[in-house]
């Protein structure tokens, strides 16, 4: 089933070239169907890249998904044009009286800063509090997951001795949980971060359930409140070349960056990277939409069902 986006969203053409069914606003207006409403708070610097990655991830489901891009008002993006943001994104203030079946909070390039020093932290706290009453399930990604765990459960991130960078093997802790249904015993996922939420502190908090982790990369996936809050510490939405772009960008800046682990064949950056995580990423997003959004959300988000 289709992803519904604005008619002239630039990444729409790329999705269509990948044979992903994208429905524009005109066709959607004639559909007699209740789509799943998903909000995406995109805090990543290259917003169009993230739009493409997330929309691609949400497309592998029989559900019709209606996506609303959301921005914070307390921060000005330096890497995406203002015209793009104001044309395709809604401010939180303009959507705060709405309800959503699901909501996604992305990562952000501010992980080495204390949360309280991030210029949009107060607004993000308001958004995370709002999701408790206006969203059926919220999916937090990378720094967004660290921020969510810190805000909701008071567990702070810690600095790593070196950047966790590459594609790491993970194992499922409890495959009876629907969120990891269909996962292999060992699966791969990308990480790109300087911080982590300590495993022992998460294990000690009985409000949080760890679903998958890695001996090398730590916790990957956990949830709370029976899936109302879901936290993904890595970047399963990344495409094949995202880590390559990050690595070569940092090399060009003269930064001390290691070659991404388990990424390039023969550990040679001149080789095309292996794509090892796409099937599990698709499964994760499909499971979230199916088991924690679609099967839980009310038919009418604003009240009793209307059968007229």
Per the residue annotation, which of 48, 142, 191, 196 is the catalytic one?
Answer: 142
140 catalytic? Reply is no
Distances (CA, A) of 3 to 70, 83, 179: 16, 23, 21
Distance in angstroms (rounded) separating the CA atoms of residues 53 and 42: 11
Helical residues (DSSP H) of the chain, grouped into ranges: 11-17, 25-28, 47-58, 82-88, 92-95, 121-134, 143-153, 199-204, 242-252, 278-287
Per the residue annotation, which of 152, 191, 235, 280 is the catalytic one?
Answer: 235
Per the residue annotation, which of 140, 196, 237, 280 is the catalytic one?
Answer: 237
Contact assessment for residue 3 and residue 65, using Cβ atoms and an 8 Å cutoff: yes
Distance in angstroms (rounded) separating the CA atoms of residues 110 and 178: 32
Distance in angstroms (rounded) separating the CA atoms of residues 196 and 205: 16
CA atoms 111, 112, 116, 119: torsion sign: negative
Nearest to 238 by CA among 302, 183, 168, 163: 168
30 catalytic? Reply is no
Distance in angstroms (rounded) separating the CA atoms of residues 102 and 138: 6
Distance in angstroms (rounded) separating the CA atoms of residues 101 and 35: 9
3-class secondary-structure state, position 305: coil
Distance in angstroms (rounded) separating the CA atoms of residues 78 and 47: 10
Distance in angstroms (rounded) separating the CA atoms of residues 134 and 33: 21
170 catalytic? Reply is no
Residues recognised as catalytic: 142, 235, 237
């Amino acid at each position: 089933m289709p992803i519904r986006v604005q008619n002239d969203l630039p990444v729409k053409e790329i999705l269509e070239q990948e044979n992903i069914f994208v429905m524009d606003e005109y066709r959607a207006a004639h559909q007699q169907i209740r789509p799943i409403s998903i909000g995406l708070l995109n805090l990543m610097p290259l917003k169009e890249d993230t739009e493409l990655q997330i929309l691609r991830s949400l497309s592998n489901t029989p559900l019709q998904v209606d996506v609303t891009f959301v921005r914070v008002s307390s921060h000005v993006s330096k890497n995406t044009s203002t015209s793009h943001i104001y044309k395709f994104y809604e401010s939180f203030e303009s959507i705060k009286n709405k309800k959503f079946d699901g909501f996604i909070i992305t990562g952000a390039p501010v992980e080495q800063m204390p949360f309280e020093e991030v210029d949009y932290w107060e607004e993000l706290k308001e958004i995370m509090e709002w999701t408790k009453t206006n969203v059926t399930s919220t999916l937090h990604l990378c720094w967004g997951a660290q921020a969510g765990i810190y805000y909701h459960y008071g567990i702070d991130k810690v600095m790593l001795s070196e950047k966790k960078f590459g594609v790491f093997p993970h194992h499922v802790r409890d495959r009876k949980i629907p969120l990891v249904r269909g996962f292999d015993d060992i699966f791969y996922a990308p990480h790109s971060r300087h911080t982590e939420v300590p495993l022992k502190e998460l294990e000690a908090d009985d409000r949080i359930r760890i679903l998958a982790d890695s001996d090398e990369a730590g916790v990957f996936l956990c949830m709370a409140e029976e899936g109302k809050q879901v936290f993904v510490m890595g970047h399963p939405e990344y495409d094949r070349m995202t880590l390559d772009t990050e690595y070569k960008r940092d090399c060009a800046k003269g930064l001390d960056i290691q070659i991404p682990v388990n990424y390039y064949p023969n550990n040679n950056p001149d080789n095309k990277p292996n794509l090892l995580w796409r099937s599990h990423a698709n499964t994760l997003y499909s499971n979230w939409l199916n088991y924690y959004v679609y099967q839980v959300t009310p038919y009418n988000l604003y009240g009793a069902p209307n059968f007229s």
